[in-house]
Structures are given as structure tokens and as C-alpha cells.
Amino acid sequence: MRLGSILVLLVILIGLAVYFFFFRPAEPTEPPPEPTYFVWDFDMVELQHIIIRLPHEDKSEAFVKHGKLEGKLKIEPEQEFHELSEGELIFQLVEGEVTPGESITVLVTFRGNPVADALTKVNDEEVGTTGEDGHISFVVPNDEELEIEVEKDDRYFYFDYPEGSKVDMNRWAGGIPLLLSGPGADRLIAKDATEEKLAEFGFTSPQMEIALTLENGDVLNIAVGDSTPDGSTYYLKLVNSNHVFTVDHTWYEVFEDLVLNPPYPTTEED
């Protein structure tokens, strides 16, 4: 009797297993994620020059990263100097006299602002780096002339016009170069769009034009067309390509704001 019960139970279990294997309803599967398209892509540290134009507003802004700043000065003993240099960095004697064996203090500036952490050489000998106030002190060597050389790696962006100031880092930080290095597009709208299609997307009269120059000299020219009907994205393409993508409206608005409300430095940063 016990053996018969066991056999019945075994048959039931096998039947249930067969049912669930063949007749169990399939679990719903999530749709595959939308692929992310990158209209262009480069390392943000390679970005050297930016031009943003708003043709409909007739406004534009340009920004430049100098990369390395240098300054060089040769003078004779007993000669005073004030805002002199061969290069971007400027020297000013602020304390002492240029007499062999005497200590002097020199101020190093760029576009009127003190330059900190700049490596300084005097007659080919390293004497240290400038302080936060741009000052460096050293003893004048007993030579026929005094040669001061200063260099500084500068990763900041500046407004690209004579004596243009550094941008407001609270607004700029690393975010602007990162956004420009390779925006993730929402969709690829059209491959090899016709001229008629490009006109429909607003590229005949773009809302925005961007030119990016990299450290190796390569230039990327970008056009932003109209917004999509719901206003959530903008049409975007490289000027030398007819592949059209959409990018989130916030991406467009960030760069529009750099032109309409330029990121001038605050008083504290000055």
C-alpha cells in the first residue's frame, strides 16, 4: 500500500513538472535599452578653443585654454624693471634692488592676475615656485646679467580677447569641456539626410553654431537646428555630416546661456 502511494505521488510530481516546463506562461521581458549615440567623442583635456554663435541673436562668445604659460626676462645688474617679459607671464620687481648677493622679490602676473605655483629659474637654476600671491624671492647671482624664466601649466579657460579674464569656475568647472567632449544623443533621427530634410530640421538657418579646436589642431564644426515639436530635444549634427541626431534641450540651454550670460569671474576670483 505504501509503495502504491509513493508511485502515485511520483506520477503527480512528474506531471506538474511537465506542465510548468511546457505550459507555464512566459515572464514578461523588458525591452532592450535604447542605444546611446555619440555625435563626436574626444578627451575633454584635448579641448583648447571654443566658439559659440547664436546667429538669430547675432551674439557669440569665444574661450581659449593656453595650456602652458611662459615668461622670460634678461636684465643687467642694478637695472629696475616693471611689467616686463618676453612671453605671456609678466614680471614686476616689488622689493629689493637688483644687486649681486642681495635678495629681491618678484611678482609674476598673467593678464593682471597673480600666478601661483609657477616654476621659476634664475640663470638656469631652479629657485622654487611662486606663492599664492604670485611672489617669488631669491638672491641675485653674481653674474654679468640676470635671467628669470617662469613657466606654468594652465588648464583654465579664458575669454578669447586681449586681456580676457578667466571664466567663472563656479559656472565652468569641468562640466563645460565634458559636455562638449561627446554629447550622448537621444536618437539618431536620419542617416544621410537630404537637403530637404535638413531644411525641415532647421539646419538652413541654425539656432546655434559651435566650433571646437583640439590641441592637435583638429576642428569640429557643429550645427544645432530647431527644437523638436515637443521642445524636449534639439536637432544636432556635425557640419561635414548629414547624420542628424537629437540632444536634450538642457544641453542646448547650457551653451546658449554662456553667450547670453557670459561666465565673467566673480569679484572673489579676480
The string of pLDDT tens digits covering residues 194-219 is 999 999 999 999 999 999 999 999 99
Residue 265 CA to residue 260 CA, distance in Å, equals 15
> Pick the residue with more confidence: 184 or 91?
91
User: Does the structure show a pLDDT above 90 at 176?
Assistant: yes
pLDDT band for position 29 (cuts 50, 70, 90): low
Could you tell me if 162 and 46 lie in one domain? yes
Could you tell me if 91 and 176 lie in one domain? no
Could you tell me if 133 and 78 lie in one domain? yes
User: Does the structure show a pLDDT above 90 at 54?
Assistant: yes
Mean pLDDT of 223-246: 96
User: Does the structure show a pLDDT above 80 at 247?
Assistant: yes
Burial (CB count <10 Å: 0-12, 13-18, 19+), residue 23: exposed
Mean pLDDT of 71-86: 80
State which of 140, 155, 170 marks the end of a domain. 155
Could you tell me if 70 and 45 lie in one domain? no
List C-alpha distances in Å: 219 to 91, 226, 240: 34, 23, 11
- Position 202 scores a pLDDT of 97
User: Does the structure show a pLDDT above 90 at 257?
Assistant: yes
**For residue 208, what are the domain limits?**
37-65+158-260
15 domain-assigned: no
State which of 126, 155, 184 marks the end of a domain. 155
Which ranges of the chain would DSSP assign to H, the alpha helix? 2-23, 169-172, 175-181, 195-200, 249-260
5 domain-assigned: no
> Pick the residue with more confidence: 71 or 266?
71
24 domain-assigned: no
Could you tell me if 234 and 147 lie in one domain? no
Chain mean position to CA 104: 38
DSSP 203: -
- Position 3 scores a pLDDT of 52
- Position 9 scores a pLDDT of 55
Could you tell me if 74 and 142 lie in one domain? yes
150 domain-assigned: yes
- Position 14 scores a pLDDT of 59
User: Does the structure show a pLDDT above 80 at 82?
Assistant: no
91 domain-assigned: yes
| Averaged confidence pLDDT in the chain | 86
Could you tell me if 170 and 184 lie in one domain? yes
- Position 37 scores a pLDDT of 73
Percent of the chain with pLDDT over 90: 64
Mean pLDDT of 157-180: 89
Could you tell me if 116 and 241 lie in one domain? no
Q: Which three cell numbers stand for residue 119?
A: 616654476
Could you tell me if 133 and 193 lie in one domain? no
Residue 212 CA to residue 180 CA, distance in Å, equals 8
26 domain-assigned: no
CATH number at residue 45: 2.60.40
- Position 36 scores a pLDDT of 67
Q: Which three cell numbers stand for residue 48?
A: 583648447
Sequence-separated (6 or more) residues with CB below 8 Å from residue 147: 72, 73, 74, 122, 123, 124
State which of 99, 131, 155 marks the end of a domain. 155
The 3-state DSSP class for residue 160 equals: coil
Mean pLDDT of 147-169: 90
Mean pLDDT of 103-132: 93
Percent of the chain with pLDDT over 70: 85
The 3-state DSSP class for residue 46 equals: helix
- Prediction pTM value: 0.75
Q: How many domains does the chain have?
A: 2
pLDDT band for position 31 (cuts 50, 70, 90): low
Could you tell me if 180 and 202 lie in one domain? yes
9 domain-assigned: no
606663492: which residue's cell?
A: 131
pLDDT band for position 224 (cuts 50, 70, 90): very high
Could you tell me if 185 and 248 lie in one domain? yes
Strands (E), 124-204: 125-129, 135-139, 146-159, 184-185, 187-190
Could you tell me if 238 and 173 lie in one domain? yes
Q: Which three cell numbers stand for residue 252?
A: 542646448
Largest CA distance in the chain: 121
Cross-strand pairs, 224: 208, 236
